[in-house]
Amino acid sequence: MPKDWTVTQAYFWASKILSSNDIPAPYAEAEYLLAHALKCDKKDIILNHDRVLINNEVGLFKELIDRRLKREPSQQIIGEEEFWGLPFKVTKDVLIPRPETQLLVKEALKEAKNLSPEVKIVDLCTGSGCIAVSMAVELPESKVYAIDISDKALAVAGENAKKHGVDKRITFLEGNLLNPMKPLGLNGKIDLFLSNPPYVSKKMMEELQPEIELYEPMLAVSGGEDGFDYYRQIIPEAAAYLKPGGYLILEIGYGQRDGTISLIEQEKVYKGIEVKKDFAEIDRVVKAQRT
Ligand code: GLN
């Protein structure tokens, strides 16, 4: 490594080494991690391209690149990911919020417009809390119940709620699926029942990118043999908590549209099933109204 590295040299060194190790989007990743090491914005990399790095900046940047070469996701290296325009803390205990999950938030907000401002929301399998916190931020009179089986995930979600000033309106519940809702007496009282549950099938689990396989919590990813384990439990159980006219809104994985629709139809208590596609034209969100 040369002495007296400039910002540009550091950037090109990293892009090259990431690229030759088959890391996807090497230039964007180099820029993202360099900005983090230099504690600046991406635009400052351009503005200060000929600045010479100081010693500990070189060491730190090299450490970040080493971690990325071992396939650790950048969001975990940095400890943050943006979702719905808000920064969310992420650790190895939570699924990194995905951009397509914002479609679920968008659909939920669309329905919330026609509901009372004091809307009651469930976010089952909250993980980082990205869905629960975004909803609470957007709907200042809402009350959210955010559930997860992992206490470590709930701790991260709680921090995210605090960071965005909505912790007083989110009740965090630890337990398996809807079990922790049972004592709360909320049957028939929920307006929006949201969930992005683990949905990757056993076959697809064998083809995960190393970033996911090595670093993301499998508990948040694996949906059993055919990927439908959680939908099979959530779809009937959610019906009991939804208010008549309330909505069940679920994220689904590639190819899960028909299976999810048939589970919803089987229940005979939902109507108006709609499916929304994400930017990659993949069916991503399924919505149904409680009769
Ligand atoms: N609700 C979180 C998200 O959408 C976590 C989902 C999960 O753990 N399966 O990112």
Sign of the C-alpha dihedral computed for residues 150, 155, 156 and 158 taken in this order: positive
Q: How far does CA 129 lie from the centroid of its chain?
A: 8
Q: Which residues line ligand 1 (CB under 6 A)?
A: 95, 97, 101, 125-128, 130-131, 196-198, 220
In the predicted model, what is the mean pLDDT of residues 196-206?
Answer: 97
Please report the pLDDT score of residue 49 as a whole number: 94
In the predicted model, what is the mean pLDDT of residues 240-262?
Answer: 98
Class of 82-290 per CATH?
alpha beta
| Residue 1 alpha carbon to ligand 1 centre in Å | 40
Q: What are the tens digits of pLDDT across the range 110-152?
A: 999 999 999 999 999 999 999 999 999 999 999 999 999 999 9
pLDDT at 181 exceeding the cut of 60? yes
In the predicted model, what is the mean pLDDT of residues 192-202?
Answer: 98
Q: Which of 91, 103, 196, 252 to mutate to test the pocket of ligand 1 (most atoms within 8 A of CB)?
A: 196
The atom of ligand 1 lying closest to the CA of 199 is: 9
In the chain, pLDDT over 70 holds for what percent of residues?
99
**Residue 276's pLDDT band (cuts 50, 70, 90):** very high
Query: Which residue's CA is the nearest one to ligand 1's atom 4?
Result: 196
pLDDT at 27 exceeding the cut of 70? yes
pLDDT at 3 exceeding the cut of 80? no
pLDDT at 1 exceeding the cut of 60? no
Please, are residues 283 and 261 in contact by the beta-carbon 8 Å criterion?
A: no
> The whole model's pTM is what?
0.96
| Residue 189 alpha carbon to ligand 1 centre in Å | 23
| Residue 96 alpha carbon to ligand 1 centre in Å | 8
Please report the pLDDT score of residue 4 as a whole number: 85
CB hemisphere CA count around 271 (13 angstroms):
5
| Residue 123 alpha carbon to ligand 1 centre in Å | 9
Q: How far does CA 40 lie from the centroid of its chain?
A: 25
pLDDT at 58 exceeding the cut of 60? yes
Assign 134 to helix, strand or coil: helix
pLDDT at 190 exceeding the cut of 70? yes
